[in-house]
Amino acid sequence: MITSTTDTGSVKTHTVVIVGGGAAGISVASSIHKRDSNIDIAIIEPAARHHYQPGWTMVGGGVFRPEVTSKPMSDVMPGFVSWYKQPVTAIDQDNNQVTMGDGSALAYKALVLAPGLELNWGGIEGLEDALGSNGVTSNYREGMASYTWDMVQNLKKGRALFSQPPMPIKCAGAPQKAMYLSADYWLRHGVLNDLDIQLHNAGAVLFGVADYVPALEAYIEKYDIDLNFQSTLVAVNGPSKTAVFRSTDGEGNSQDREVSFDMLHAVPPQRAPKLIRESALANEGGWLDLEDDTLRHKTFANIFGLGDVSGTGNAKTAAAVRKQAPVVAENLVATLRNQPLEAAYLGYGSCPLTVENGKIVLAEFGYGGVLQPSFPKWINDGTKATRAAWWLKAKQLPTLYWHGMLKGHEWLAKPAPRSAKH
């Protein structure tokens, strides 16, 4: 039975404390419990609802209804954990304690950090005020993907801008997924020729893994999309329907350019939560400083991490969590038993690139962009767009998320031995 405890004045102790009840926190709790059901686990998570965020792209493309991407947190929180419905305000890694919003503390033998990342809406001047009106939208904002879909259906002519901020961000393909699904709708409804579609990408390449670029370039050509690299969205004015992009050349010189729009799908820059980035647990970039294979903290041997907060060089996707959770579970249990750490994470991430309604380029890769296909070839045919991959994304992955991953079912997620890294 789930318990929610808020006692003050005394320090409660749990064997394992997990910060965060998103995909990473709940999945790793279930994987730990699967390995040793006697381990006392607490999850600290203040949110009342749990979101299946990979579904927001599909809502913005008119494929999913918004309600299928969210459930009450109480429906997905495991019954075997103690659930503290509060934020974490401080981590005392030297004394093995975390402090919560009401001032009470929890002590732990092992700590798992999975608080996700922070969407820095304030990092783009005027964006937060502009969202939800005058054609300014973002599938990254809770509840706003429906507005994206409304804009897509109503836009018949003019200019549609899609922005992609500097890496790292959660689901690096999502800014482009929104663009491809929109362009496909406009093509099917005969208005594409009356639209000027522009992608403004802060990076220098279309996608970070070169093997998938040709397939994406074919769709860029099909939809006649104007590509703008090293072009970063820095300001938005909703009432005047203008956006300012900062372009940088090879010598590092930059200049700002104002572009008018009828629709703007904006993606904010992203960073680790303040709790992590301003602590001794962070690396130079402000992300959680983890060993890339064991997912153990580089300095504190009883602290592990996974999910979007991680400073490891993998793509920040739910699919990465699917592979990370068993690794953290095995290595954490080994730590509690004073055994060597044998499980390794090889950087797996997956990005189902929705290039049209009915086809997906299923990008699966690990550290260094090494391809790591895990699905059968009939689903993932190398680097091509397939209908089978769409079937997987649209019909199977939501069920696998709610009823598989969150419950500790580790389908196609067996940890690699550490020897595989070398």
Catalytic center residues: 171, 351
**β-pair partners for 184:** none
Asked if residue 361 lies in contact with residue 207, where contact means CB atoms within 8 angstroms, the answer is: no
Q: How far apart are CA 390 and CA 384, in angstroms?
A: 12
Helix (H, G, I), strand (E, B) or coil at 377: coil
Q: How many other CB atoms sit within 10 Å of the CB of residue 84?
A: 27
Helix (H, G, I), strand (E, B) or coil at 246: strand
DSSP H stretches of helix in 337-409: 387-391, 397-403
DSSP secondary structure, 33-71, as one string: HHH-TTS-EEEE---SEEE-GGGHHHHHTTSS-GGGGEE
> What are 242's strand-pairing partners?
237, 260
Q: Using CA of residue 418, residue 116, residue 202, residue 142, what is the dihedral sign?
A: positive
Q: What is the torsional sign of CA 44, 82, 318, 48? A: negative
Phi-psi region of 307 (alpha: psi -120 to 50; beta: other; left: phi over 0): left
User: What residue type is assigned to position 260 of the chain?
Assistant: S
Q: How many CA atoms lie within 13 A of 390 on its CB side?
A: 16
Q: Could you give the CA distance from residue 282 to residue 270 in angstroms, rounded to a whole number?
A: 15
